[in-house]
Structure 1
Amino acid sequence: MQSDARLTPSRERASKTDHFARRAADLPGHLVREYGAIDTLLFASVFVFALVFTITQFPWFYGNTLGANLTGALFLAAVPFIFLMLSYWAIGVLMPRTGNDYVWVGRILHPSIGFTWGLIYVLIVFLAAFIGAGTGPLSFAVSSIFATYGLLANSAYFTGLGNFFGGAAGTLELSILFTILVAAFAIFGSKFVKAFLYTTWIFAIVGMVVMWYILSTTSNSTFVSNWNTLIAGNNASYTYSALQATAASNASFPGIATGFGAIVAALPFAFLFLFGGNYANAFAGEIKNVRKSLPIALFLSLILGLGYWIVTSTLTVNTIGFNWATTVGYGWISGGSVPGTASYPLPYQPTQPLFLAVSAYPNQLLITLMFITYFIGSLGPLFAYFWIPSKYLFAWSFDRVIPSKFADVSSKYHTAWVAVIATAIIAVIAEFLYSYLGYSSYFTMGTVLWGISYTIPGIALTVFPYVKKDLFAQAPGWLGKKVAGIPLVSLMGLITTVGFGYVGFIAYSNPAITTVNTNSLELLGAMIVLGFVIFYLSKWYHKREGLDTSMALKEIPPE
């Protein structure tokens, strides 16, 4: 078991206090370090790049940025992400606990700030990643699968299923079904978790190879011909050129954006392609040899993710057409990111599976192989983004900020089963909200609030050597080094704070992101108030019971 005793209060003092909901290692049902370097890398990678994230990603990006250079934007975005990974490497090693960044912010800045930040961060990532980029788009993919088979077989039944699952009711039903599925795996322990992760990764790798093969062997002229044959049929308004002309006319397309300025303006959108790798820190308390496993996972997931997105986006736009993807994507977004509008009349969402099916047409065997691997390979990230929030619920409960019941761990499976069930309930509620708020509101939380949230751990890392001098003095390796008298970790934290704060400013300066999504800003304000209210109500309640929780929140939680 990885030990960080140099950075924790002494075992003797810990045994004399009972500020936490439990002393984890003293009970048979405690969380244990069960995830090795490869496991951690697979989790970190599935947070960054996966088949499910490609479903509507390219029409969304090119439509919102008017065709900004995605490769250039990704390379530019990678710079602040390198410092983010360095920062999360530091905090993961300094405080390797479940809910790592929540523990970090709370112990360095203030417990109330830590909990409120953690609550907002978890909800934002959960809404934007698990639902906004996960269960919602995967429902669109299922819609595309049925619609494609309806077109291939001239079946009104399959076409009807495709239309249903592309609508609000169908999306909600599938989202709830996906939630129940991943919750079941989350409850039954690390063996099930690992089996699910490895199995879905195998399908995902095959699916990626199939996707790249289809795209690399299909010319744009072939795609156009296949589109007009398979999708348009007898409806002239659905042809390749008609869709582009309709979007340009009815959505008043302003033209393609070019130059470095367009790349900078696209950074908030490019960030969403690279988010997630540092989410592995949430289960740092369960990682074997965290000092070596964590940095490998953080940096390899970023490098692999960068390569995946550049290759996939380049192949996709070369096949479907850059101008077409940008203009049609703009029309789709202008119509509210739903099918069947004046600017996007097609009855199906513009999904990657649909583009791949058109590219592979008329090879039905290849289309079927693509659909199977694409769907099963997309379940891994859904599970991962569902599983992680339960870690924060466990950590909050461990600190007694929320009821200690959430810290209950199954003695058989070593999982926080109550936290998992609570996460599933929250997911279902959020999926209902998704049906009303829609894709655009969740997208705002993903592109703006997700990025800005990293300024808080960055600030905490910046001030860490000055507010926790005893811990800094014991920091291992490069974490305790100084450059020109300034702690290296402070520089990492400062650059992270400035980088993500600046991109947040770019996002809020873009009216296309903020003006149509004021409900997201209202939700943010409500979450800030809610976080502080919950924290201080909990503190007041426990004080009435004779327990000063502030003592626990000054210590690093025990292993």
Structure 2
Amino acid sequence: MAQRKLFLRESSGLVKNASLKDLVMLNVANMGAGLAVFEGISPYVVQGSLLWLASLITFLITLPLVFTYTYLLLKMPRTGGDYVWISRKLNGAIGSIMGVAFAFNMPPYFALSAFFSVASINLVFLELGTLQHISSLTYLANNVFVNPYGVLTLSQELLFYALAAISFLIIILVNIFRPKWGFTLTTILGIISSLTLIIAMIVVAVNIPDFHQRIPQFLITFNITGTITPFHFSLPATLYMVPFFMSYAYIWLYAGPAVAGEAKEGSLKLNLILGSVLTFIMITFPFLIMDLAAGPAFNLAYYPSFTYNFWSVAIYLASNPILQWILGIGLIAWNYFIMAFGVVVFARYIFAFSFDRLFPAIFAKLNKYSSPVYAHILDLIATLVFLALPLISPSGALALYSYTPLAVAYLFIVSLAGIKVGLNDNNKKLLAMGIVSAVIMAIVEAELLIPSNNYSFSVVTSSGVNWIATAYIISLVGLGVISYFLAKYYRMKKEGIDISLIYKEIPPE
């Protein structure tokens, strides 16, 4: 009983509201398939690569990580997920420092989702306004929901910020006053987003026979140019694209585990693999269908334009105005889907830190609706701060993508925790999967750190060190270091509690 007093209280107080469907949708949002086939990957394609094959390879090589996460999730189903596993099974200090760094890596991602939510409205309104000759939509795209990469007036920047901020605030308020609705909102947005993506796949597939007869007009209408060169398949080029698929999709497995303390009975075992399989389908098949319709050479010529992508082509080929609107709404919904999952998950990490006395107790306080209200408020403040960066400089948005090297390092540490648990439990399968996962994460990290590879999310390129990205990563890890040692000093001096002892047992439910 004495050790139970190490924790803030003897029960988390969170309610088991999350069903298997909710957890799967959280995981699907975490991996962001809809945005990966929008402007997340295809504009960065290199000659000789097949995107659908790179997606397949990425899915296969991340399965050991999925298995490791699933095993640890079933063994320690607690709020905070991988933070709890690392801090309990590997090392308390490492778990605390990297857990804080990883968690505060999330608000920039949510800020980007809020940022691109308005950007997606701009694209949909501009495309539908042009295709359907609706001048009011074109006006809104050019004057209200403007292209954030263009030259904006101060009033347009403030309006853009306000629209993105209000969207995020609404989702925050839903989670504060009706936490169960937070899961429901994510699930509903997930179903809408996923179904429209599947419909878009069907639309492009149906138009394969006359694709090359129809698509020239699309290119002319939106002034898309490119040079078609003969396609020669290259395995190295295809493998070069694997880190892009990891960065935008397949390695993001923390959502379901982070809310495991609120999962209903029997909903944990399959949620990660189902989320991964659905993501695989919703990324691989769109790129495969695009290659079957246009041919790799054609796609490689026009993908770098950004305007030519799976979603814009699907909306154009739909022809029927109602169907075009459905697809456009589906694309916009993906951004809000990701924001909705983010609000749920970030607060659970902050709650877990506070419950372990790493953070101030107020962040583990629940309101009468059983919502970690102050954790949500912290999320809102952090996201609104980061949301200003892309508006100050649209190129600043790219700096926020530099979370990838930190995330890969974090997943390497999770894999090490899996190896240690495998050894302790004499579980050869977990041991093997942990080792394979650790090796794969180490290889990917090395790929990102090789300057000549020039990945868009690298901290070091052939042009030199990206000091903004480097400072960003150092600041996140620094925040973790300060949080841990400050909490250790304060708790010992003021309360007589050694927080390193907290990490010797699993938190109560």
Call closer, same or farther: CA 1:138–1:296 in 2, change over 3 Å.
same
Partner of 1:511: 454
Residues 13, 544 of structure 1: alpha-carbon distance in 2 compared, 3 angstrom cutoff: closer
Could you tell me how far apart the structure 1 residues matched to 2:230 and 2:8 are?
58
Q: 1:274 aligns with which of 233, 239, 250?
A: 250
Task: Summarize deviations over 1:23-48 as a string: whole Å, max 9, x none.
Answer: 225xxxx1022223232223223323
- Is 1:359 the counterpart of 2:317 in the alignment? yes
Aligned partner of 1:368 in structure 2 is 325
Deviation, structure 1 residue 223: 3.7
| 1:40 aligned partner | 23
Contact kept? 1:70, 1:270, Cα under 8 Å: no
Q: Does 1:522 align with 2:480?
A: no
TM-score by length of 2: 0.86
Write the distance in 1 (CA, Å) between the matches of 2:232 and 2:167. 38
Q: Secondary structure of the residue that 1:74 maps to in structure 2? A: helix
Q: CA separation in 1, counterparts of 2:347 and 2:422?
A: 30
Counterpart amino acid of residue 27 in structure 2: A
Cα distance change of structure 1 residues 64 and 441 upon mapping to structure 2, 3 Å threshold: farther
Structure 1 counterpart SS, 2:374: helix
1:500 to 421, 441, 454: 441
Moved more, 99-108 or 320-329: 320-329
Separation of aligned partners in 1, 2:343 and 2:289: 30
Partner of 1:462: 419
**Structure 2: how far apart are the matches of 1:223 and 1:278?**
42
Aligned to 1:340: none
Contact 1:220 1:318 in 2 (8 A): no
1:414-433 alignment to 2 at 5 Å? 414-433=370-389
Task: Please report how far the alpha carbon of residue 211 of structure 1 lies from its aligned counterpart in structure 2 after TM superposition.
Answer: 0.9
Q: Quick one: distance in 2 between partners of 1:64 and 1:518?
A: 25
3-state SS in 2 of match to 1:187: helix
The amino acid across from 2:166 in the alignment is L
Determine helix, strand or coil for the equivalent of 2:17: coil
Q: Distance in 2 between matches of 1:199 and 1:533?
A: 39
CA distance in structure 2 between the partners assigned to 1:137 and 1:256 by the alignment: 32
1:137 paired residue number: 116
In 1, the alpha carbon distance for the partners of 2:231 and 2:399 equals: 25
Asked if 2 retains the 8 angstrom alpha-carbon contact of 1:108 and 1:460, the reply is yes
Partners of 2:141 and 2:73 lie apart in 1 by 44
Shift of 1:317: 4.2
Q: Is the 8 A contact 1:80 1:500 kept in 2?
A: no
Quick one: structure 1 residues 255 and 404, their matched pair in 2 at CA, closer, same or farther if it must change by over 3 Å? farther
Report if aligned partners of 2:389, 2:397 keep a CA contact under 8 Å in 1.
no
User: What CA distance in whole angstroms lies between the structure 1 residues aligned with 2:362 and 2:67?
Assistant: 34
Please point out which of 207, 223, 226 is paired with 1:244.
Answer: 226
Q: For each residue in 1:231-268, what CA deviation from the matched residue of structure 2 results, as whole angstroms up to 9, or x when unmatched?
A: 24xxxxx2x4xx114xx9xxxxx996732211222210
C-alpha spacing 1:75/1:50, structure 2 compared with 1 (3 Å): closer
Could you say which residue in structure 1 is the equivalent of 2:95?
A: 114
SS in 1 for 2:226: helix
- Give yes or no for contact 1:140–1:351 (8 Å, CA) kept in 2: no
| CA shift for structure 1 position 423 | 0.7
Say if 2:22 and 2:184, in contact at 8 Å, map to a contact too. no
% same residue: 19
Normalised by the size of structure 1, how large is the TM-score?
Answer: 0.79
Deviations 1:151-174 (A, max 9, x none): 246566533432453216365343
1:67-106 to 2 correspondence within 5 Å? 68-106=49-87
Question: Match for 2:503 among 553, 556, 559?
Answer: 553
Any conservation in 2 of the 1:141–1:351 contact (CA below 8 Å)? Answer: no
Matched residues in 2 for 1:308 and 1:392: separation? Answer: 28
Unaligned runs of 5+ in 1: 1-11, 233-237, 249-253, 333-348, 467-471, 473-479
* Structure 2 unmatched ranges of 5 or more: 150-156
Query: Which of 212, 221, 240 is the aligned partner of 1:265?
Result: 240
1:543 is aligned to 2:492? yes
**2:169 maps to 1:188:** no
Q: CA deviation at 1:207?
A: 1.2
Per-residue deviation, residues 368-395 of structure 1 (Å, max 9, x unmatched): 2222343345522321123211111001
Number of residue pairs aligned between Structure 1 and Structure 2: 485
Paired with 1:154 and 1:541, the residues of 2 have a C-alpha distance of: 64
Matched to 2:378, the amino acid is A
| 1:44-63 C-alpha deviation (Å, 9 max, x unpaired) | 23323543443213433xx3
CA contact (8 A) 1:461 1:489 kept: yes
Q: Deviations over 1:346-402 (max 9, x none)?
A: xxx5565433332234x3222122223433455223211232111110011111111
Rounded Cα–Cα distance in structure 1 between residues aligned with 2:507 and 2:264: 17
Asked if 2 retains the 8 angstrom alpha-carbon contact of 1:56 and 1:350, the reply is: no
Alpha-carbon distance in structure 2 between the residues aligned to 1:543 and 1:110 = 19
